[in-house]
Amino acid sequence: MSEVLSTNGLRKEYKDTIALRDLSITVEKGQIFGLLGPNGSGKTTTLGILLGVIKPKKGTFSWFGNGQKDENRKNIGALLETPNFYPYLNAVDNLKIVSKIKDVKNSEEAIERVLKRVNLWERKKSKFKTYSLGMKQRLALASCMLADPDVLVLDEPTNGLDPQGIAEIRSLIMDIAKEGKTIIIASHLLDEIEKMCTHVAIMKYGELLQVGTLEEIMTQDRMLMIKADDLDKAKKVIDTTDHISIIDEPVGELLIAVDEKYSNAEINKLFAENEVYLSGLRDHKKNLESTFLEIVK
């Protein structure tokens, strides 16, 4: 793989708030790279810096091994905010304006290509204001792809969509990636990131906590769901045990992370020796959400 993006110690501060803390990541060609974290974690700030919208306090980044030159952005399609088109113009006329701004050659062919790509060709003459939110997002993706860039940068592309709209955008993004495009996507929707991304960077309060392939990120301690009559006492046992930690507290249960080398029988014995008798103990199938909770805690 060849390097598409690298950042080195990116930092951004707003008065008393550190929005980004010395971020260093690398994105390779063909990856679907997810920036993952809750609101306020620094995802949008990172994308703003990478696209030249926000100036970092310190640190550097490089696109395509070509530094921070403005010309790099000609090979990047970006969707940073809610789709913003002229409401009384149809899809074709809106994209004609975008084509002029981006200086797209053979714009008519390009517009037809991208509208067919996002399944909006049949609605090409419909005014933007008549589109559903999902259709508006798809038109925004079409706009990103007009100049046929090698990289797409997407900030919360499924935000606000219903389940069908989310599935449509997800499928479209994955199909685009199959064409060899590199996609950098920021989202707080853990389930969607898990379904789409090959690589993930987990952030919190502007700090990078972990980065790696999705498989590497998911390879944390195994998880168990336990029940006990006295959960407060169970928590005290966990607090004094190095190889167990609490991940979540659903009603009447505890989701715990356990070092792989300890069997369920040994965990049960540990609690019993501390006079906590478990009424339930079962393996919990890991997903990105539970892994994320484990990492940020």
The CATH number of the domain holding residue 10 is 3.40.50.300
* Max CA distance (Å), the chain: 76
pTM of this structure: 0.77
In which domain, by residue range, is 202 found?
3-218
113 with 229, same domain: the answer is no
**CA 253 to chain CA mean position, Å:** 29
Name the average pLDDT for the chain.
89
Query: Which residues have C-beta within 8 Å of that of residue 287, sequence separation ≥ 6?
Result: 190, 191, 194
In 143-243, beta strands by DSSP E = 151-155, 182-187, 199-204, 207-213, 222-228
Residues across the chain? 297
204 with 258, same domain: the answer is no
* pLDDT of amino acid 289: 66
132 with 34, same domain: the answer is yes
Domain-terminating residue out of 187, 218, 249: 218
Domain-terminating residue out of 173, 200, 218: 218
Q: How far is CA 174 from CA 54, 72, 167, in A?
A: 28, 23, 11
CB 218 within 8 A of CB 288: yes
* pLDDT of amino acid 60: 95
20-71 confidence digits (pLDDT tens) = 999 999 999 999 999 988 888 899 999 999 999 999 999 999 999 999 998 8
Helix (H, G, I), strand (E, B) or coil at 229: coil
269 with 282, same domain: the answer is yes
187 with 244, same domain: the answer is no
Sheet hosting strand 199-204, strand order edge to edge: 76-79, 151-155, 182-187, 32-36, 199-204, 207-213
- Exposure string for 246-263, b = 16+ CB within 10 A, e = fewer: bbbeeeebbbbbbeeebe
CB 66 within 8 A of CB 37: no
* pLDDT of amino acid 248: 84
Per-residue pLDDT tens digits of the chain, which is 297 residues long? 589 999 999 999 988 889 999 999 999 999 999 998 888 889 999 999 999 999 999 999 999 999 999 889 889 999 887 778 999 999 999 999 999 988 998 999 999 999 999 999 999 999 999 999 889 999 999 999 999 999 999 998 888 888 888 888 889 999 999 989 999 999 877 777 878 899 999 898 899 988 988 777 766 567 889 999 999 999 999 999 988 988 888 888 998 888 878 889 999 999 999 999 999 998 877 666 666 666 666
Give the whole-angstrom CA distance, residue 86 versus residue 129: 8
187 with 245, same domain: the answer is no
254 with 135, same domain: the answer is no
Give the whole-angstrom CA distance, residue 36 versus residue 284: 22
CB 201 within 8 A of CB 274: no
201 with 62, same domain: the answer is yes
Q: What one-character DSSP code corresponds to residue 174?
A: H
Closest by CA to 85, choosing from 53, 120, 113, is: 120
* pLDDT of amino acid 283: 85
156 with 57, same domain: the answer is yes
Q: What one-character DSSP code corresponds to residue 122?
A: G
- 264 half-sphere exposure, CB direction, 13 A CA radius: 11
171 with 127, same domain: the answer is yes
154 with 211, same domain: the answer is yes
Dihedral of CA atoms 222, 227, 232, 238 in degrees, nearest 10, equals: -20
Give the whole-angstrom CA distance, residue 34 versus residue 124: 31
What is the tally of structural domains in the chain? 2
Domain-terminating residue out of 218, 252, 280: 218
The CATH number of the domain holding residue 236 is 3.30.70.100
178 with 269, same domain: the answer is no
- 34 half-sphere exposure, CB direction, 13 A CA radius: 30
Q: What is the DSSP string of 53-87?
A: SS--SEEEEEETTSTT-GGGGGGEEEE-SS----T
